[in-house]
Amino acid sequence: MHKTIAYQGVQGAYSEQACKNAYGTYETIACDTFHEAMWLVEQGDADLAMIPLENSTAGRVEEIYRLIPKMALHVIGEHFEPVVHCLLALPNAKLEDLKYVASHPQALAQCHNNIISLGLKAEAKLDTAGAAKELVELKDMQRAAI
């Protein structure tokens, strides 16, 4: 039987990348929320959950520190995942025409200074990969994703 690891985000999210890098033989399970990923472990429907506690730019992920005391789980290890953010837009979009940028709140916080300097309005989404997927679906040349 395959071991499983739950994470918050859609396929392609940074959290899934961290799961694959740290637990390459585990089957990944995408979840809508951090709570759902942790709940799957608590219920025995996943062996582990990969949950970001902090990052070097934006600091602690406060939501996690509020969730941990409510769950019957504990930290068993840590993994450091290097992340490189990119500003994504549709083909032929021009930087000067962009008005909005969407991403996970942590990515937006990490890129805050660049977002401000570009004059973009930030829009929080559930995860980075989902923001990129939505960008493609909307086909709006004024939108970008991180």
Could you tell me the pTM of the whole model? 0.77
130 is a domain residue = yes
Q: Which backbone phi and psi does 89 adopt, to 5 degrees?
A: -140, 170
Is there a single domain that holds both residue 51 and residue 92?
A: no
79 is a domain residue = no
How many domains, in total, are found in the chain? 2
How much of the chain is helix, strand and coil, in % rounded to 5? 35, 20, 40
Is there a single domain that holds both residue 53 and residue 11?
A: yes
23-61: pLDDT as tens digits: 999 999 999 999 999 999 999 999 999 999 987 777 788
Is there a single domain that holds both residue 48 and residue 103?
A: no
Is there a single domain that holds both residue 10 and residue 66?
A: yes
115 is a domain residue = yes
Q: Could you list the residue range(s) of the whole structural domain that residue 55 is in? A: 4-70
According to the model, what pLDDT value does residue 62 have? 85
